[in-house]
A = this chain, B = another copy of it.
């Protein structure tokens, strides 16, 4: 029994390493596209728009690894929970990659208009979303439910920023019709960033469920942070 068990552990470690790698790529894409938007750099934006391939490849590879682990080793209890969580996290990270593309498309349109305003809250939303992604994945690998809880709390901050962005841009649109199109794109971008936070939240909830076998989903979470 010793050898297959050791082999299983190695395969599991590789799975986690690949998930972290994918998380790093997703995070970097979010950073790059928000940076491209702020600096109005069409080349940087286009690079994100066309660069979804590495994440899609990792998505398929990780899915296959999960299947193989489930089929060959028939893991129990904790390991089973971790692998099912990995299946879900993999899906969440793939969507984050898609959302980076959606942000790039809106940013591309935005740069064809005069800037509506100096961007402050949107880069802030980008920072928060990136931090949430990073913390969510760290909490998965370290089985750290406290860190996962912090991710849930950060989501409220992201929602607050999104509402603020929306109200401010609405004022611009009502005052000056020439801002309607670019302001709409900024609103869409803020919603895409919010959804990235939602995916980080999903990951954090899966971690808490995995570690404590306590289901925090569909319950009010602590908003004191």
Q: Which residues of B contact A187 (CB under 8 A)?
A: 184
Q: Which residues of B contact A188 (CB under 8 A)?
A: 191
Q: Which residues of B contact A67 (CB under 8 A)?
A: 80-81, 84
Complex Cα distance, B84 from A23, in Å, reads: 21
Residue A120, interface by CB 8 Å: no
Complex Cα distance, B80 from A72, in Å, reads: 11
Q: Which residues of B contact A87 (CB under 8 A)?
A: 84, 87-88
Residue A177, interface by CB 8 Å: yes
Nearest Cβ on chain B to A92's Cβ, whole angstroms? 9
Complex Cα distance, B180 from A218, in Å, reads: 33
Q: Which residues of B contact A70 (CB under 8 A)?
A: 70, 80, 84
Binary CB contact string for chain A from 172 to 198 against chain B (1 if under 8 A, 0 otherwise): 011001001100100110010000000
Nearest Cβ on chain B to A25's Cβ, whole angstroms? 14
Nearest Cβ on chain B to A201's Cβ, whole angstroms? 12
Main secondary structure of the interface of A (DSSP, over half): helix
Complex Cα distance, B72 from A76, in Å, reads: 9
Residue A74, interface by CB 8 Å: yes
Residue A65, interface by CB 8 Å: no
Q: Which residues of B contact A80 (CB under 8 A)?
A: 67, 70-71
Q: Which of A120-179 contact B (CB under 8 A)?
A: 170, 173-174, 177
Residue A111, interface by CB 8 Å: no
B56, B170, B181, B191: which contacts A217 (Cβ < 8 A)? B56
Binary CB contact string for chain A from 63 to 93 against chain B (1 if under 8 A, 0 otherwise): 0001100110010110011001001100100
Q: Which residues of B contact A211 (CB under 8 A)?
A: none
21 contacts between A and B (CB under 8 A): A56-B218, A60-B215, A60-B218, A67-B80, A67-B81, A70-B70, A70-B80, A70-B84, A71-B76, A71-B77, A71-B80, A87-B88, A88-B88, A91-B202, A170-B180, A170-B184, A173-B173, A173-B177, A174-B180, A177-B177, A184-B187
A56-B218, A60-B217 given; name 11 further pairs at CB < 8 Å.
Answer: A66-B84, A67-B81, A70-B84, A74-B74, A84-B87, A88-B88, A91-B91, A170-B181, A174-B177, A174-B181, A184-B184
